[in-house]
Amino acid sequence: MESARELGGGAPHAVSDGLRRRLDPPASVREIVARLERAGYETWCVGGAVRDALLGQAHLDWDLATAATPSQVMNVFKRTVPVGVAFGTVGVLDEAGTLHEVTTFRRDVKTDGRHAEVAFGASLDEDLARRDFTINAIAYHPQREELRDPFDGQLDLKRGLVRAVGEPVQRMREDRLRALRGIRFAGRFGFHIEPATWRAIVSSAPHLGSLSGERVQQELVKTMQQVEKPSVSMRWWRESGALRTLLPVIADAPDDRFEALDFLPRGEGDEEPGRTLDRLAMLFFGTDPAAVRPALGALKCSNAQQGWITALAKSEREIGGTVDAVLAERVPTAAEVRRWVAAVGRMRSMSFFGLVSARWHARLAQEPREAVSQRLVELRAMAGHAAFHEPVEVGDLAVTGEDLMRVGVTSGPEVGVMLRRLLNFVLDDPARNQRELLLRRVTVDVHPGRE
Ligand code: ATP
Ligand code: MG
């Protein structure tokens, strides 16, 4: 790898007043830097927080890089957590109990595209040189108010460019995840990918199968969490060949499926997990459900996520075409919507209609149809009403299986069959969900001619 010096990166430079206001790590972070510096160990803020601060965006985790070895860090602070000592990372707990990651300056001694072996005793510049992209390889010293930016990361931030540190093909060969990270950062900040970096991503694509499912899943999830318009990122996944290697079941999915992601807003705070899950489900909305679960399994998604996403794909197969056909023509009837909600399931129905709407919005962005947009609003209101105020499951019926047996239905599968028949009766008109009316209907069925 080229050293920072060979690349001609400038000496540390003082920051302007404007930058100083942005580069403002919290007091607890400054305190950790101060203590390490007092003990004689050079310590800098590095990585994502510096990048985001320079972009004027808030970032919660200020990672620190230091000349101290992990054991020296543990000697300086009373409360530490050995987060990843083999890789040089110690967690330092501040007074409030918040953990801050402090990592020893390191350089890579061996890389095989998956695992790196690192050596300590490196300089700050060597540490920056092993980072993936120039925008992630800027260091800030909060005491000296100095920036160290040997690869011109600030220039790339200004130009809006994701560019590998050093020789791109080699850097991607060292760690294939960098290909996906580069695409994610570009999508997140609305940046371009520098041509040589892009070519390296493309040449990495056939090798991405060597990444663990967990790491790929994490990248996909972070993309859905962080990127406002994931269609761009997913187009890069597709154009680079990454999608073909990692998720062949959706490599040939229609464009509107990816464009629909942009109409599913990413969530913040409490709503984040559900929104992220909706975006993940959109990727498979229209794929053969039998192929969805194995694909999610390979990504090591949880069983709950696999179940949820697969069920939505299954519902899409079952009723997606009908729903779309109705919406293209007219407002659905209340009974139709109730039946759709019943088919999808109460809990999944809001997600399902959210995905259906997002896909329509993607199409309508190409070819606006005001009437359809209006129908989508009505559909979602109707679906919400049906799901949360009307009987759509056997459990919502005004009678139970025991009631049925009391009036003569034989215990066993017949009870379930009869309950589903009653639900069907009620789905046409929720006013029918009355105990007496339903029991009378059962009696007629069980003892024909008695009435
Ligand atoms: P995010 O906001 O997504 O956390 P980040 O830049 O903080 O973005 P992290 O994954 O937390 O990303 O990594 C912190 C820093 O470590 C990066 O900014 C980068 O300098 C370095 N880094 C992380 N992963 C890699 C990698 N695979 N190869 C090289 N450097 C990496
Ligand atoms: Mg980070």
Hunting for tokens 């302007």 — which residue is that? Answer: 16
Per-residue confidence at 21, pLDDT binned at 50, 70, 90?
Answer: confident
Higher pLDDT, residue 210 or 59: 210
For the residues 284-311, what does the mean pLDDT come to? 97
pLDDT in tens, 327-378: 999 999 999 999 999 999 999 999 999 999 999 999 999 999 999 999 999 9
**DSSP secondary structure of 177-236:** HHHHHHHHHHHHHT-EE-HHHHHHHHHHGGGGGGS-HHHHHHHHHHHHHH-S-HHHHHHH
Q: Which long-range contacts (CB under 8 A, 24 or more apart) does 138-141 make?
A: 138/46, 138/50, 138/51, 138/54, 139/44, 139/45, 139/46, 139/50, 139/65, 140/15, 140/23, 140/25, 140/44, 140/45, 140/46, 140/50, 140/53, 141/12, 141/33, 141/43, 141/44, 141/45
- Ligand 1 atom 16 nearest Cα: 47
Alpha carbon distances (Å) from 282 to 66, 90, 337, 444: 43, 38, 21, 45
Asked if pLDDT for residue 202 goes beyond 60, the answer is yes
Atom number of ligand 1 nearest to Cα 181 = 27
Question: Residue 449: its pLDDT value, please?
Answer: 67
Q: Which atom of ligand 1 is nearest to the CA of 174?
A: 28
- Whether residue 39 is predicted with pLDDT greater than 70 in this model: the reply is yes
Say yes or no to pLDDT of 110 above 80.
Answer: no
Residue 116 pLDDT: 72
Q: According to the model, what pLDDT value does residue 114 have? A: 61
The protein residue whose alpha carbon is closest to atom 11 in ligand 1 is 48
Q: Which atom of ligand 1 is nearest to 175's Cα?
A: 27
Is 373 or 451 the better-scoring residue by pLDDT? 373
Q: Whose CA is nearest to atom 27 of ligand 1?
A: 178
User: Does ligand 1 have an atom closer than 6 angstroms to the CB of 131?
Assistant: yes
Share above pLDDT 70 across residues of the chain, in percent, rounded to a whole number:
96
250 C-alpha vs ligand 1 centroid, how far in Å? 27
* Residues at Cβ < 5 Å from ligand 2 ion: 48
Average pLDDT over residues 211-239: 97
Q: Whose CA is nearest to atom 5 of ligand 1?
A: 48
Compute the average pLDDT of residues 300-329. Answer: 98
pLDDT tens digit string along 118-150? 889 899 999 999 999 999 999 999 999 999 999
Q: What is the mean pLDDT of the chain?
A: 94
Type of residue at 207: H
